[in-house]
Structures are given as C-alpha cells and as structure tokens.
Structure 1
Amino acid sequence: MTKNLQSSLRRRRRPGNAMQAYDALPPELRRWLSTAALPWSPASARGIWVKAGGARDPEAALARLAAVEAATLRKDCASPF
C-alpha cells in the first residue's frame, strides 16, 4: 500500500506512547495540530511550542508553528520527489 503523503522529512520511530504524548499537549496546541497540513509528532510540536514560549504567549507559539510548517511545505514543493 502506498502512502498519499510525501515529504522530504525522513521517517523515524520514537519510543513511547504517541497517544499519551498527544494527550499531554496543551489544548491550544492539540487544536492547531488537528488542522495542520503536515503530520506532526507530539514531540516535535511540543519542542517548537516550548521554544516559542507557548506557556507565556500561545498565539506567538502557534504563529511560529505555522511558519515552520509553511517553510517545510515550500521546501517540499520546490524539490522533486
């Protein structure tokens, strides 16, 4: 069965329970992830959230996540698969 998503990101397995990690995310971040264009791991989304100051300024953190996602989509669209 082929995948319908193609990305330049390499696939990797992360240890642990992804559903528990997702459930532990802040509600604003979970809401954003539910509408994201790319399949984010809870760990990578949380990392950007924390670095962008999500606890202090959720809107700025969500804007940062959107910018990172847009940059990845531009990169993927520019490169041939």
Structure 2
Amino acid sequence: MRRGANLGATVLRTRRRALDPMRAYDALPADLRFWLQDAARPWSPVTCLRLWRRVMAEEGCPARARARLDRIEAATLARDHLRDPGLA
C-alpha cells in the first residue's frame, strides 16, 4: 500500500503538527519573554510574537511596546471579566 493512501478514507480532518511551545517561547525576543513572565494569563508564543511585531513597528521602543502590551492585556482581561464574572 502506498504511504498516505488512506487519507481520503475518513471524514476526520487531518491535524497540523503542533509547534513545540518551549522552542517557540525560546525563539521570542528577550523583551517579549520578560513581559510574558509577568503576564496575568498564558499567551500563545505565536500570537504574542505577531502582536509584538505590530506594536514594535508602531511604538519603536521596547519599553513603550511592553507598556502597550500591558494595556492590551488589561483590556483583554476586562473583556473576559464581562463575559464571565467568575474569572478573577
């Protein structure tokens, strides 16, 4: 039988290989890793890196970018709290 010949024989979707979260975290810029250490909730390294690049392009300074990430996180926490007041 050919390798991969049964891919169409099921209705189940194929899964993408998950990234190694520690490797993804280790590859982040140091300033972003420092920010993540004190984050209130866990963030995906991929999501965080995308956000960091956008914020750095707009702010240009790691200190201002970290401050902006703090504001973004506060807004996210407030929005989550409105959806589920049981979150603290």
TM-score, structure 2 length as denominator? 0.67
Moved over 2 A (4+): none
Alignment RMSD (CA, Å): 2.1
* 1:63 has 2:67 as partner: yes
Tell which has more relative contact order, 1 or 2 (C-alpha 8 A, sep 6+). Answer: 1
Residues 14 and 79 of structure 1, relative CA distance in 2, 3 Å threshold:
farther
Q: Which residue of 2 aligns with 1:51?
A: 54
Which structure has the larger Rg over C-alpha atoms? 2
Q: Which residue of 1 aligns with 2:36?
A: 33
* 1:16 has 2:19 as partner: yes
Offset at 1:61? Answer: 1.6
TM-score, structure 1 length as denominator? 0.72
The one-letter code of the counterpart of 1:32 is W
- Extract unaligned runs of 5+ from structure 2: 1-15
| Paired residue total | 68
Identity of aligned residues (%): 46
- Extract unaligned runs of 5+ from structure 1: 1-12
